[in-house]
Chains A and B, each alone.
Chain A
């Protein structure tokens, strides 16, 4: 047991030792990385290999490159937009009278780094992010451009609603909100928030990662996540989940409930779940423990039987490979295959 004088041994790793912690250290020390660590292989090789890969890629792409250059030559406007993607983003009015930095946008204008685009109740605008995508700014919104340079497109939605379609490589298009930050993993989503950070993220194609402090959650197409002030990330859910399921999930995520009330809410959630809603269970399992964890796994296994090799015991102890295999049963796919969604960027 810990006594007051050795309470901080766990934190400090010094001073009067807590016997149990010291015993665990002694027991687990066998897994520690050897000192000094094994020398790294020649690092130059790493960069030479990368150069080699690039050179092969470029050789293979030579014909396509030449063709692309020809196309660029006959389309000067394309050359301008490709060559200067980071200087300014073209914006145009879709309805009403949007304003840029307090001045009327008119039919069309440009947004620069630090610029503010504001719409009132009757106005709507569109911002083009180079050739990588477009953002529709809905009424009653305030959007600030944080950063615009090749490979880094960042904006902040102070309030209101946007809809984004991008073909940017993962994590290059970023939207801050008063709450979490949304990282586009390719390629279409709708985000709305008020000044306090209450809102909703809906992913319509590809994946989006929400991050808040050191927590993160990946949300696939067809799923959504509530945003609420107060430092919690909402558990993502499949959008056509029942009202009772979504309501129970929101209470578990954002309400301070006593243990009995929380257990009752969890029962509501489990009762209202369909097989596809096991997606939310799997997200909850990242942080849950004890009875709650067991109930989620038991109900989840009822609704979505696991593939061969995945066991209840493995899921209970958080075996990542089993969890991954079970998640694959949902048929949601891999976030890494973002580029297969390129068609979704086309106007609809």
Chain B
């Protein structure tokens, strides 16, 4: 099974990185950077995300020797990213960004429309927003999201479909409200 092979390969990389193999950690970074980026983007302003991705991996590198269960790396890393996003708000006063601005009716440039869509996703319940961002922004498939985050396939599938349904309703609601 391809998913099993990827899981096994990543677990091997974790073991090697824990032993100090810098190349193995670089490969883990390349494999998991999109997941971390998506998890952060679901919570913090876009312009802060790329720096936070780096911080999450630096923190993970420091704490990696404490991770006992190598196959659990994805779920563990996701938790590190979520905690880092929470810390971000404790350190930084919330600021508005384009994505937090509701799009003005009749002025929907692609950029504003994208910001409105991102804002709508961030307004969804927590379980849906992360999965939807990994799928729609980061372009990961459902099986890939499950493999990377350590979530069950069933959970990811449900989150994707229910989240997309809610998102459609909310975007439809916005465009309805935007009617003069």
A and B are partners in one complex rather than unrelated chains = yes
Chain B residues whose CB sits within 8 angstroms of the CB of A214 once the complex forms: 151-152, 155
Report how far A36 CA is from B30 CA in the complex, Å. Answer: 8
Q: Are A288 and B141 in contact (CB under 8 A)?
A: no
Closest to A322 in B: B94
Q: Are B137 and A43 in contact (CB under 8 A)?
A: no
* Cross-chain pair count, CB within 8 angstroms: 126
Q: Are B141 and A37 in contact (CB under 8 A)?
A: no
Closest to B65 in A: A47
Number of B residues with CB within 8 Å of any CB on chain A: 62
Task: Confirm or deny: A318 has a beta carbon within 8 angstroms of a beta carbon on chain B.
Answer: yes
Task: Confirm or deny: A346 has a beta carbon within 8 angstroms of a beta carbon on chain B.
Answer: no
Enumerate B122-136 residues with CB–CB distance to A below 8 Å.
122-127, 129, 133, 135-136
Chain B residues whose CB sits within 8 angstroms of the CB of A30 once the complex forms: 111, 114
For residue B19, give the distance in angstroms from its CB to the closest CB of chain A: 13
Most interface-central of B25, B58, B85, B143 (chain A CB within 10 A): B58
Closest to A323 in B: B89
For residue A21, give the distance in angstroms from its CB to the closest CB of chain B: 7
Chain A residues whose CB sits within 8 angstroms of the CB of B157 once the complex forms: 11
For residue A151, give the distance in angstroms from its CB to the closest CB of chain B: 8
Q: Are B139 and A47 in contact (CB under 8 A)?
A: no
Q: Are A320 and B89 in contact (CB under 8 A)?
A: yes
Q: Are A32 and B89 in contact (CB under 8 A)?
A: no
Report how far A152 CA is from B68 CA in the complex, Å. Answer: 11
Binding site for A on B (CB under 8 A): 22, 25-26, 29-30, 33-34, 37-38, 41, 43, 46, 50, 53-54, 57-58, 61-62, 68, 85-86, 89-90, 94, 100, 110-111, 113-114, 117-120, 122-127, 129, 133, 135-144, 151-152, 155, 157, 160-161, 164, 166-168
Binding site for B on A (CB under 8 A): 10-14, 20-21, 24-25, 27-33, 36-38, 40-41, 43, 46-47, 50, 152, 213-214, 286-289, 309, 316-322, 324
